[in-house]
Amino acid sequence: MAKVAPVSVLGLAFFVTLSSFVFLSLGQEKLGRHCSENPPTLNPNYGFGFVKDIGGLKAYVSGHSKRGILLVSDIFGYEAPHLRCFHFSTLPLMDIADRVALAGFYAVVPDFFYGDPYVQNSSRTIEEWSKNHGTDKGFKDAKKVTTALRKEGIHAVGAAGFCWGGKVVAQLASTNFTKATVLLHPSRVTLDDIKAVKVPISILAAELDNGTPPELLKQFEEALTENKIENRIKIFPKVQHGWTVRYNDSDSTAVKAAIEAHIDMFIWLSKYLRWHL
């Protein structure tokens, strides 16, 4: 029987406990149109961490650990509150990055768009915006960030990507830059991307998402299994693309589904990072 690292157990317990508290509180090939629906209100002051330069990119960081989790945003960028921290009533509750940090990891959310996230209802269409912010450039930047993290002493890195970031992390999974990866409602990920994956990967998908329909996810699973890559694919019922980071705080059902995905993400990455203390 494999040993379980105590730090990971405590971190997981803290992550799940905090998430459960939120449950209780709330319970009383082109980028598709779905990629820009329900945009967040960006706020550079959200979160308990701070912004620093990593590999030539600004990045929101939170926590202190030799194990890092790289969070690659959707098209709305690294100032999205649900990637950092949100506030329910007057009580601050940690969301993805800050919860990951308090669970014992170094959370890193880079600004892959260099201060130019997509702005809905602007004069620029999403297609025009995408010309300057391709995922290939994001992939190169992600490698620079992970290289810089290693130089800082972060010797084990996991990565999770949301929508646009899912494609970046899928590409990153074809390298040795990460120990494990998670794709959350990914966009533009192809079967060839999945066939190139070399590290354990989990895909958390929405039932109502034309970008990753069930038949495509089935092909992903078959390819990963054939290549003997550890994988887990989970389809969340009755949710839409973007549900893990662009949910309505007042919708308890949406929040619960998002937090369930956050916990799944953390459990998967923790499984492969826990021995790297």
Residue 1 in domain: no
Tally of CB atoms within 10 A around 94: 22
- Distance between CA 129 and CA 141 in Å, rounded? 18
Residue 172 in domain: yes
Q: What is the pLDDT of residue 47?
A: 54
Q: If you average pLDDT over residues 252-275, what whole number do you get?
A: 90
Residue 267 in domain: yes
Residue 175 in domain: yes
- Give the model confidence (pLDDT) of 159-171 as tens digits: 999 999 999 999 9
Cα dihedral across residues 157, 5, 201, 78: positive or negative: negative
By DSSP bridging, strand 85-88 and strand 201-208 are unpaired
Task: Name the domain count of the chain.
Answer: 1
- Give the model confidence (pLDDT) of 186-221 as tens digits: 999 999 999 999 999 999 999 999 889 999 999 999
CATH number, domain with residue 260: 3.40.50.1820
Q: What is the pLDDT of residue 103?
A: 86
Residue 41 in domain: yes
Which structural domain, as residue segments, surrounds residue 255?
6-273
**Would the pLDDT of 246 be above 70?**
yes
Cα dihedral: 135, 188, 211, 40 (round 10): 0
Q: If you average pLDDT over residues 244-263, what whole number do you get?
A: 86
Residue 245 in domain: yes
Task: Tokens for 219, please give them.
Answer: 């092909």
Residue 93 in domain: yes
Q: DSSP letters of 16-55?
A: HHHHHHHHHHHH--PPPGGGGSS-----TT-SSSEEEEET
Residue 171 in domain: yes
